[in-house]
A and B are shown apart, each in its own frame.
Chain A
Amino acid sequence: MSIILAIFLGLVILILAFAAIYHKNIKVAIIASGAVGLFASVLYLLLAAPDVALTEASIGSGLSTIIFFYVLNKIRQSND
């Protein structure tokens, strides 16, 4: 059961990662990269690495997303 869930999560991560790279709208791409972190943390938990999952959930999906948004806003301001 858990291997099926792991494969499913891996596919979702792949799709989201492609969205993060190729999506035209940068905001959507940033959200997709945050979601990659979120699903990756669930995958780490399934693969018996709860320590890594905690880090990934807070840094990968929380902090790095908001830092990307701040930087995006900053870049837009300096382009105007």
Chain B
Amino acid sequence: MIKKGILLLLLAGFVVVISNLIINFSGSSELNPLARYYAENGPTEVGAANLVTAVVVTYRGFDTLGEVTILFIAAAIVGFFLKILNSNNNRTSSLRKPSEILETASTLLVPTIFMLGTYIFINGHLTPGGGFQGGAVIATGVMMIILARPTSEFNHKLLSILEAISGIGFVLMGVLGLILASGFLNNAFLPLGKLGNILSAGAIPIIYVFIGIKVGSELTSILNSLKENQNEV
């Protein structure tokens, strides 16, 4: 009884606090100073037509590095706990055959999805999206392969090599920015080019290709280690 009373009191307190916030909320009519700085100086300093990319890769590039590291650690932990055994314990017989529609559609859709993912991370500095989104879309294509052809195998070595190379490349780009330009992950050590061109925004396209490959291979390896682990108990 007392417990419920305390709970109700807490809830009432939350209602008071949150309703206060909602009633007194008024959207700001102008950008705050930091956002105004990004919007005004982003195109000339970074040269990326997509301002979100300018913030994510250069102004807040260190946060992106942290994000990629978190994903890497997650993939490593999944790989550690779900060790892949090379025993082919007659998985084929226990699996139900996927539907004809899915199998046929996947042959058309998987290349298209891969192409879309690649497009997203190559055009990350021009259109919405970027390395992370492109990599996730590519991993969705891999998911479709797994759904349509459950017996298909992926090359672990290739995945880990891709992941390692792209991770090193990303950090290397950051260090190059530190040496040749003004700071870590500064993109201005390559020519900025004309705003809106595909070859513009300095090192951003290269960094985004690295991030895209890294995220795609990490998510693929997570899916793959979960898939390979389904039949051994």
Contact = CB atoms under 8 A, between A and B. Distances in A.
Contact of A63 (B120, B219, B229, B233): B219
Contact of B143 (A55, A66, A73): A66
Contact of B140 (A51, A58, A70): A58
Contact of B52 (A51, A71, A74): A51
A70 B227 contact: yes
Nearest to B78: A67
A62 interface: yes
Contacts of A71: 226
Interface residues of A, number: 17
B120 A74 contact: no
Nearest to A54: B133
Interface in B52-66: 52
Contacts of B223: 63, 66-67
Contact of A74 (B132, B143, B219, B229): B229
A15 to B, nearest CB: 22
Size category of the B interface is: 20 to 34
B214 to A, nearest CB: 15
B125 to A, nearest CB: 12
Which residue of A58, A62, A67, A77 has the most chain B CB atoms within 10 A of its CB atom? A58
A77 B229 CA distance: 11
Interface in A37-74: 50-51, 54-55, 58-59, 62-63, 66-67, 70-71, 73-74
B132 to A, nearest CB: 6
B138 to A, nearest CB: 9
A73 B130 contact: no
Given A63-B140, A63-B143, A66-B143, A54 B230 contact: no
A62 B143 contact: yes
Nearest to B227: A70
B222 interface: yes
Interface of B: 52, 120, 128-130, 132-133, 136-137, 139-140, 143, 146-147, 219, 222-223, 226-227, 229-230, 233
16 contacts: A50-B128, A50-B129, A51-B130, A51-B133, A58-B136, A58-B140, A59-B136, A62-B136, A62-B139, A63-B140, A63-B143, A67-B222, A70-B226, A70-B227, A71-B226, A73-B230
Given A54-B133, A66-B223, A77-B230, 16 more contacts: A51-B129, A51-B130, A51-B133, A55-B132, A55-B136, A62-B140, A62-B143, A63-B139, A63-B143, A63-B219, A66-B147, A70-B226, A70-B229, A71-B226, A74-B230, A77-B233
